[in-house]
């Protein structure tokens, strides 16, 4: 398997894992909205709508990456990584004891998933400099 295929598979794994983990958390947040400490401006519908928008961006980012539109894919993937990373913001709006073990798991899993997508994107764009290595892959 070529390096290009391995990198695409790695990104695909990160994006799929993130979609699954964020789907569980955002669904739980939507269903149990009143139990999650969060800012007043967040509503149940904004939880659902934001997940859909972020997920479409993540899928678009993967598709663009697969089709070697690297810089555009990086923009979408960095935006998508926020889907998981912003979940950590729950901790700014409540004490640790305000969250159930399930909530902690979902929040931390989302954060790690977002960090994985962001880490891959930074590695690809800044360290591996993939946009300049097309002929070497």
Assigned fold of 3-136: Butyryl-CoA Dehydrogenase, subunit A; domain 3 (1.20.140)
Distance in angstroms between the alpha carbons of the first and the last residue of the chain: 11
Domain ranges of the chain: 3-136
What is the tens place of the pLDDT at every residue in 95-126? Answer: 999 999 999 999 999 999 999 999 999 999 88
What is the band of 132 on the pLDDT scale with cuts at 50, 70, 90? low
Task: Using a cut of 0.85, tell me whether the model's pTM lies above it.
Answer: yes
Instruction: State the DSSP H helix or E strand holding residue 79, giving kind and residue range, or none if neither.
Output: helix 70-85
d(CA 85, CA 81): 6
């Amino acid at each position: 398997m070529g390096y290009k295929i391995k990198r695409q598979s790695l990104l695909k794994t990160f994006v799929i894992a993130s979609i699954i983990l964020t789907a569980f958390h955002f669904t739980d947040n939507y269903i149990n909205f009143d139990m999650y400490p969060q800012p007043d401006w967040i509503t149940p519908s904004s939880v659902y709508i934001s997940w859909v928008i972020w997920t479409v961006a993540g899928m678009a980012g993967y598709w663009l990456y697969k089709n070697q539109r690297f810089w555009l894919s990086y923009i979408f993937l960095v935006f998508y990584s926020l889907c998981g990373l912003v979940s950590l913001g729950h901790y700014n709006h409540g004490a640790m004891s305000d969250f159930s073990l399930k909530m902690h798991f979902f929040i931390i899993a989302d954060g790690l998933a977002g960090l994985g997508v962001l880490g891959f994107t930074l590695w690809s764009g800044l360290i591996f400099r993939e946009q300049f290595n097309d002929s070497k892959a």
